[in-house]
Structure 1
């Protein structure tokens, strides 16, 4: 029973290209029945499947991905496993409970990943060196002051940085000021997601290149994929912003497409121009600012465009145009390295909501959904995977309570209003970005 495949972007560019090729798991080609089905094998789906398997060691857990592993947001992000989220604007005492809740969720994800990386000897360039937050323009300078005050109020370990401090540490004079949050990890995202998949419990069966086409709800859920039908007692959707026929709730998440470039490996003389730290990550204090990494293998990665592209990756022509923006931003920050070429160019899609929150819900007695992480899916997505698995199993836990207590994502209008609204909102993300782009 073969059905036409929907269009799913599937290309090897960016972080996946920096690691040795892996043998993907086969696609599903025969009908099967299972108690548990998890749709989406990114950080959330992998975490969810693992936790389900731990709670139900005698049950078969089916895990599907529409693409090859690492071709979703999990392998295309910039590798920041944050411990503390940045909330724009001044510290608000009335929001303390929210601040604490989000950080507890981040910590659950960070702790889980740290343990998995260590216990399974996953080689993913994991380094808990903290994360830099920087300001190059007047608007983000103000935000830097707000963030430092927030960190002080929350008693979070941090180091304020002057322009000179940043230059000495990172080798760039572009930024006016910044702060280093001392908690948090950096990783090579493709290596991490591959390692997590390679160390799943034995009762988890992973099928790649198996997109869901349609779903029929009932006492048992029937899920159609191109070459088979799965009959599952319980289904958990861990597919970020993507949905499909028969399971589409009112739209609350859209995909925003980002792009980035990665240099060749720098030589020793070039590395020596980059200050005292051998590996680091910068997040801009403006929401539309550049994200920059110096990787463990001596490359610089820069990501500084975001746009609504109807939930799809950019074409080769679009990417080449965007790389001009990457090049200018790179040269601004590292004029001493302006001769260093980019070796890789890629795009990726992140799930975002109108009010910058997440989705964690039970849609029916046997259908659950966790997703939409607004660009912070490594730790939060991992925690949501644990939480949604425990929720579906009827367990009461702190992570379930915290996820359920988050603000609900707002419903979005249908197309064509959705397209215009998403395009306009994404454009607004860069309002006032100035030198931070």
Structure 2
């Protein structure tokens, strides 16, 4: 009998602003008792919920169960910046890069497949335009280095025939209300989501087709005969096939150990404000979304609802194989984000950062997912490599197809990748990864 005892659970530090301003709309149900199912999905984030929807389409008569250790949208799925990006960038390298033309086009096609799936979710379940907004995004440059990176990125996009538009400093000022940025590069295919609303909207739409149990961490997963049995605090689920949509936490289930980098990034969201609270049009249009030209810089995004706006700023990365960070670290980085915000929007120093939080990412050295049938009837849809909304959606879709025996050229391409490369042993990995991250952050300079 195969038996995995899960000895640690990820820790979420700080309150995500996305989750705090989101309305849930359905009750929380925890697992209570022993049940059987045709399918068990562990993890209720982008991967797990996408796998559940895909399975409900393939096998509408089957019983599908999701277990999540937290409340939906309070974990990593509700803690990202909400960019669903089609044109690839490589966070592991610290540079935006498009690989050889064939690989780049394959990745773009896969990303757009995931975005199309999410668009179907938005249409089927009636998600609002504020929750799912196909507005595109801008790579924003605030320095000579940023302008040079954007120019390199532009040339790569031209090479593969991807639509884009260069923005000058005046256009950036009119968009953002800030004189901080010297240029930008707009690409139209990205979708901006309110991640907590998207996750809750998808879960709400699946109710009736899928049983979702929250506050139900899997503490043990064992193979008993033809079935897997997942034990939680107050019950268990038995099913012949299991999909793990737990990102880097899959190491806790005994797979891909020593191959995944557990990275945390940090964000803050301002209090809501109206435009007449500050002199002039200091933050520009009602909605905009900026990625930094140097990916180790600051992601900044503005949202507006009912005449009230908020700005979200995301900076800094740390490597934490313990799967947790301290409140002190979140508070310290929030102070740095305050300075970054004030540099971009002078005159708004009185606007408080209402929420600050940390969110977990999972990367591999060779930028590949932790995917496939890792044991008989046990499937992994993990390691999103820094693009959690899109990559985890895609992984969930592909894992459902693989487990259900539904073939496609996309699945053949997706599964035909090497496994994640091994990391150096600790403490060398910790020293090496954190040193590289800090060097790249310092090099980002004014982009941060």
TM-score, normalised with respect to structure 2: 0.90
Query: Which of 270, 291, 297 is matched with 2:299 structurally?
Result: 291
Once the two structures are superposed, residues 146-172 of structure 1 have per-residue CA deviations (whole angstroms, 9 ceiling, x without a partner) of: 111112122222110122221122222
Q: Is the 8 A contact 2:296 2:441 kept in 1?
A: yes
Q: 1:412, CA displacement in angstroms?
A: 2.5
The residue that corresponds to 2:88 in the other structure is 85
Distance 1:334 1:435, change over 3 A: same
- What is the CA deviation profile of residues 59-93 of structure 1, one whole-angstrom value per residue up to 9, with x for unaligned ones? 1111111111012221000111112122546765x
Contact 1:241 1:371 in 2 (8 A): yes
Does residue 122 in structure 1 map to residue 124 in structure 2? no
Cross-structure match for 2:443? 432
Structure 1 counterpart of 2:197: 191
Between the aligned partners of 1:4 and 1:24, the Cα distance in structure 2 is 27
Does structure 1 residue 361 correspond to structure 2 residue 372? yes
Distance 1:4 1:433, change over 3 A: closer
- Whether the 8 Å contact between 1:214 and 1:245 is mirrored in structure 2 is no
SS at match of 1:322: helix
Identify the residue that residue 107 of structure 2 maps to in structure 1. Answer: 102
Alignment of structure 1 residues 332-371 onto 2, 5 Å: 332-371=343-382
Measure, in 2, the Cα distance between the counterparts of 1:413 and 1:91.
26
Q: Does the 8 Å contact 2:266/2:358 carry over to 1?
A: yes
5+ long unaligned stretches in structure 1: none
Q: Distance in 2 between matches of 1:304 and 1:110?
A: 25
Post-superposition offset of 1:365: 2.4
Deviates more, 1:277-286 or 1:302-311: 302-311
The residue aligned with 1:253 is 260
1:145 aligns with 2:155: no
Contact 1:130 1:180 in 2 (8 A): yes
Correspondent of 1:266 among 265, 273, 276: 273
- Does the C-alpha gap of structure 1 residues 358 and 245 become closer, same or farther in structure 2, counting only changes over 3 Å? closer
Contact 2:89 2:98 in 1 (8 A): no
Deviations 1:100-136 (A, max 9, x none): 1111111111111112112211235322111010122
Cα distance in 1 for residues equivalent to 2:431 and 2:33: 41
Matched residues, number: 433
Distance in structure 2 (CA, Å) of the matches to 1:31 and 1:349: 31
- 1:324-403 paired onto structure 2 within 5 Å: 324-403=335-414
Contact 2:362 2:386 (8 Å CA) reproduced:
yes
Cα distance in 2 for partners of 1:100, 1:407 equals: 19
Q: TM-score, normalised by structure 1?
A: 0.92
| Residue of structure 2 equivalent to 1:74 | 77
Higher mean displacement: 410-419 or 292-301: 410-419
Report SS of the residue matched to 1:157.
coil
Once residues 98 and 323 of structure 2 are traced to their aligned partners in structure 1, the CA distance between those partners, rounded to angstroms, is 36
**In the aligned structure 1, how far is the partner of 2:34 from the partner of 2:98?**
54
Is the Cα–Cα contact under 8 Å of residues 151 and 158 in structure 1 kept in the other structure? yes
User: What is the CA distance between 1:203 and its match in structure 2?
Assistant: 3.3
Match of 2:30 in 1: 27
- For the Cα contact (< 8 Å) 1:212–1:244, is it kept in 2? no
Determine the structure 1 residue equivalent to 2:229: 222
Distance 1:259 1:271 in 2: 29
Give the C-alpha shift of residue 145 in structure 1: 0.7
Deviates more, 1:35-44 or 1:114-123: 114-123
1:49 aligns with 2:52: yes
Report which stretch shifted further, 289-298 or 221-230. Answer: 221-230
Q: CA RMSD in A?
A: 2.4
**1:242-281, CA deviations, whole angstroms, 9 ceiling, x for partnerless residues?**
0366543333223211111111122223495246532011
Unaligned residue ranges in structure 2 (runs of 5+)? none
- Does the Cα contact within 8 Å between 2:8 and 2:252 map onto a contact in 1? no
Range with greater deviation from structure 2 (108-117 or 335-344)? 335-344
CA 1:412–1:160 in structure 2 vs 1: closer, same or farther (change >3 Å)? same
Separation in 2, partners of 1:371, 1:245 = 12
- Contact kept, 8 Å, 1:360 with 1:404, in 2: the verdict is yes
- 1:407-422 pair list within 5 angstroms: 407-422=418-433
Residues 429 and 222 of structure 1, relative CA distance in 2, 3 Å threshold: farther
